[in-house]
Structure 1
Amino acid sequence: MAMLESHYFFNNDNYEFFGHGPFVAIGIIGEDSIEPLSTFGAGYMLGWKYDQESNVSWNVGLGYYVNTEATLMRDEYSDGMTTTVQDPEKLTYKKDVGALMLLFSATF
Structure 2
Amino acid sequence: MKKSRVLFWQNCFHPKNRTKKNWILLGLLGAGWICGIAGILSPLIMFVSAIAIPGTFEWFDVFVSIEFCGIGLFISIGMYYATISVKKVFLRYLEYNAANVKGGIKRD
TM-score class normalised by the smaller sequence: under 0.3
With normalisation by structure 2, the TM-score equals 0.21
Q: Which has the higher helix share?
A: 2
Larger Rg: 2
Question: Which is bigger in relative contact order (C-alpha 8 A, separation at least 6)?
Answer: 2
Q: Which has the higher strand share?
A: 1
With normalisation by structure 1, the TM-score equals 0.21
